[in-house]
Amino acid sequence: MAIISSINSCSDNLIICVLLLLSISYGAFCSPLDITSSFFIFGDSTVDPGNNNFIETIAEYRADYEPYSQNGFFETPTGRFSDGRIIVDFIAEYAKLPIIPPFLHPSADYINGVNFASGGAGVLSGTNQGLVIDLQTQLKSFEKVQKSLIEKLGDEEANKVIKEAVYFFSIGSNDYMAGYLGNPKIRQRYNPEQYVGMVIGNLTEAVQVLYRKGGRKFGFLSLSPLGCLPALRALSPKANEGGCFEEACALALAHNNALSSVLRSLEYMLKGFKYCNSNFYDWLHDRINNPTKYGFKDGVKACCGTGPYGGIYTCGGRKKITEYQLCDNVDDHVWWDSFHATERIHEQFAMALWNGPTSSVGPYSLQDLFFDKAQLTIADVVDDPRADL
């Protein structure tokens, strides 16, 4: 009754009345900062929340066994390649969303988004083929989600969800580590420049597919210094000197540079296209080389693994070699296992993506993409043609 009385009392002043209504609808019930976008995730083991639990694959591409997820945030191992949470879990938290479920989980609800990522997956369908869910298959799964949303919400509301959603990509590492460096036939067929162009071309097409379906806001986790992963450091010709595998690092840099150029072009070509890109390479490289500066003690050796630098991929004892070592304090380490970072790294870079400096993220931050912070002004109301209705 108080609201109705207030509205009636302002009937002689249309502008004040409109402002009051806006205050009621956006302030009392639904603040703009409380409205968030859905979150759709495409990628590999860096962001896989457990999709590989539901497919036939090998132990190297699964993480649903101890000591994965050992830090206690989850009751049991979830399939995340981490000692706990991964980067998209933190992003969802910052965006005021629940943890985004894996697409293949039987009870997955799509309304807040869904995660299609698969450990070992690549941009190219031939990368680890038959053992993972490649990017093209992930895109086909998104089509199923879109149809489900239309059936549940109707065309108009479903299209609104698709348009306002944030689409996050973290993929490409396996194309270079397994698809190129680990495949002599591919290396004979393509030089590095040609291969990078092929990966980037397919990734660009995936972005355009989602754009044609209505997507407008995109986030990207660029590649890390791949040659500094414990597994590749152990394979480096300079392994005895502690050096990174330079060829792998060069491929990652070439990929990141090409992706940056493509995204700038897409922003120019595609109306309404907005993106958040990241400089994960330099960010992580600094922590590898200067761990104590960021609260770590070891930026080189994996917490869980065996052999030089913990670079033999044995974590969990279910792979080809069953013996492994586990460090006493995970928080001292940048690397969790031979290929994957610790939860602390995931959390720190999630925050950098969310609202970090331009040296780490741009041209938009993920916070910019998830939340519309524009505030309504009196001028907006006066200039709005609907004010005359």
What is the 8-class DSSP label of residue 250?
H
pLDDT computed for residue 107 by the predictor: 86
Burial, 311: exposed, middle or buried (Cβ in 10 Å; 0-12, 13-18, 19+)?
Answer: buried
Q: Note the pLDDT tens digit of each residue in 135-174.
A: 999 999 999 999 999 999 999 999 999 999 999 999 999 9
**70 DSSP 8-state letter:** T
Distance CA 159, CA 153 (A): 9
346 included as an active-site residue: no
**DSSP calls for 156-183:** HHHHHHHHH-EEEEE--HHHHIIIIIT-
Please, what are the domains in the chain? 36-383 (3.40.50.1110)
Contact 168, 155 (CB under 8 A): no
For residue 202, which phi and psi values (nearest 5 degrees)?
A: -70, -35
Contact call for residues 342 and 336 (beta carbons, < 8 A): yes
What is the Cα–Cα distance from 8 to 77, expressed in whole angstroms?
58
What would the two tokens of residue 69 be? 């997820």
So what's the pLDDT on residue 35? 59
* Coil, helix or strand at residue 194: helix
**How open is the CA angle 368-369-375, to the nearest 5 degrees?**
55
How far apart (Å, rounded) are the C-alpha atoms in residues 261 and 266?
Answer: 9
Catalytic residue among 38, 340, 346, 365: 340
Distance CA 335, CA 309 (A): 10
Q: Among residues 48, 89, 298, 337, which one is catalytic?
A: 337
How sure is the predictor about 237, in pLDDT bands with cuts at 50, 70 and 90?
confident
pLDDT at 241: 74
Report d(CA 373, CA 35) in Å as an integer: 10
Q: What angle do CA 156, 157, 160 make, to 5 degrees?
A: 90
Q: Which of 45, 173, 338, 365 is the catalytic position?
A: 45
Q: Which residue has the tokens 């000591």?
A: 67
333 among known catalytic residues: no
Residue 334 has pLDDT above 80, yes or no: yes
**d(Cα 43, Cα 170) in Å, to the nearest integer?**
5
Q: What percent of the chain has pLDDT over 70?
A: 86
Single pTM value for the model: 0.87
* CB-neighbour burial class of residue 172 (10 A; exposed 0-12, middle 13-18, buried 19+): buried
Per the CB < 8 A criterion, the answer to whether 116 and 124 are in contact is no
Contacts of 52 by beta carbon, 8 Å cutoff, 6+ apart? 61, 62, 63, 64, 79, 118, 119, 120, 132, 133
Name the band, by pLDDT with cuts 50, 70 and 90, for residue 12. Answer: very low
Tens digit of each residue's pLDDT (9 = 90 or more) over 169-209 = 999 999 999 999 999 999 999 999 999 999 999 999 999 99
